[in-house]
Amino acid sequence: AQKVTQAQTEISVVEKEDVTLDCVYETRDTTYYLFWYKQPPSGELVFLIRRNSFDEQNEISGRYSWNFQKSTSSFNFTITASQVVDSAVYFCALSEAHTSGGSYIPTFGRGTSLIVHP
């Protein structure tokens, strides 16, 4: 069965600090996909990034970067020079390509609440 663990429940930083949100996953599938979503106070989950299991290249998008390491089953998310607008709950999710019955049901972590203080 697939599982996603976000061990950090809440992180509090001061603006301009760098912060890393951890995500550890478990899966028996050889093909899978990992996602990060942001949930601002408005409530809607916003998709940030997808990574497939065959692509371990790290990715950078502005102040955001992602570090995917299959050896440690981790897909960590770093925000550089954090800003107050980054305050949100961040979810990591896993989707297996070969689930039983062919259903596409992603598994979400419990989320990490990031609070950025001015």
Partner 1 sequence: DGGITQSPKYLFRKEGQNVTLSCEQNLNHDAMYWYRQDPGQGLRLIYYSQIVNDFQKGDIAEGYSVSREKKESFPLTVTSAQKNPTAFYLCASGPGTGQGSNQPQHFGDGTRLSIL
Residues that bind partner 1 (CB under 8 A): 9, 32-33, 35, 37, 42-47, 50, 52, 91, 95-97, 99, 102-106, 108-111
Question: Number of C-alpha atoms within 13 angstroms, CB side, residue 58?
Answer: 10
Looking at the Cβ atoms of 71 and 103, the one nearer to partner 1 is: 103
Q: Please, what is the minimum distance in Å from the beta carbon of residue 29 to partner 1?
A: 9
d(CA 38, CA 40): 6
Shortest approach of partner 1 to residue 79 CB, angstroms?
Answer: 19
C-beta of 19 vs 89, nearer to partner 1: 89
Report in angstroms how near the CB of residue 27 gets to partner 1 at its nearest: 12
**Secondary structure E strands in 1-118:** 3-5, 10-14, 19-21, 24-26, 32-39, 46-52, 59-61, 64-69, 74-79, 88-96, 107-108, 112-117
CB nearer partner 1, residue 47 or residue 81: 47
